[in-house]
Amino acid sequence: MSRKKAGARHFFTFILLAVICGLAIIVQAKVDPEAKPRHYNYREAGKQMRRIYYGELQETLYCGCRYLDKKTVDFSSCDFEPRHNPNRKSLKRAHSIEWEHIVTAHNMGHFLPCWKDGGRKNCSANDSTFKIMEGDLHNLYPAIGEVNGDRNNFMYSQWTNNPEPMYGKCKTIVDFKEKKAQPREEARGIIARVSFYMEKTYGINLSKQDRKLFEAWDKMYPVTEKECERDRRIFKVQGDHNPFVYEKCR
């Protein structure tokens, strides 16, 4: 074989190996569950939501309402009605979408020094750990603003099998006196698995009461295809999975 032909052969072999290595790196980046996630603060996380909540996933957590954009909620899709309240701000929030923290900002940050020195605002501005937790996409879901506001920092609970509706036919209810919220059945498994994720990822401990409730919800309301699709989309944007969802989607 001539030197010219041998050189050409080596050149093409080198190109082929380079392509194979490149493809291997790309594939690994797509499927490697150990890849370092890309963190966002809360404001940046909000900008990523359209990359996750579109098509079949474009509906609210607590009432299952479809929405066109952050200011256009389709009440007819879920028979939603705003709770009677003379407060105009609350009524305005009924027509808008907000990004709800399943594990509340208060529960994430109240034990941090920054919270004692200025609450959530101070933590969001000055604490890197809180910023990551606050912007974690696994913990954020679209919710009607009024329901999000009513839920406040209340913990989740279950106290009645026949809830008296507060928002039209929406099955999520809030007990303002006892400071607790009972989500509709379709949201309960989701809430449980996100809570487990936040505990595992950031060490946000669950009380014995909450753990018992969420373990029951996790079993009673198993992972759905929509939940799997949400996890896949978040992985593409943030670079990590919720293992309590991911392991049940494969």
Inside any domain, residue 168? yes
Structure confidence by residue, pLDDT tens digits, 36-71: 788 899 999 999 999 999 999 999 999 999 999 888
What value does the mean pLDDT of the chain take?
A: 87
Number of domains in the chain: 1
In a domain, 1, yes or no: no
Q: Is residue 8 part of a domain?
A: no
Place of tokens 């009524």: 91
Q: Is 29 within the bounds of a domain? A: no
CA dihedral 101, 106, 107, 112 (to 10 degrees): 130
pLDDT tens sequence across 209-241: 999 999 999 999 999 999 999 999 999 999 999
With respect to residue 23, please indicate whether it lies within any of the assigned structural domains.
Answer: no
Q: Is the model more confident about 148 or about 24?
A: 148
Establish if 28 belongs to a structural domain.
Answer: no
For residue 151, tell me if it sits in a domain. yes
d(CA 19, CA 6) in angstroms, rounded, equals 20
For residue 10, the one-letter residue type is H
In a domain, 161, yes or no: yes
Q: Which domain holds residue 160?
A: 37-246
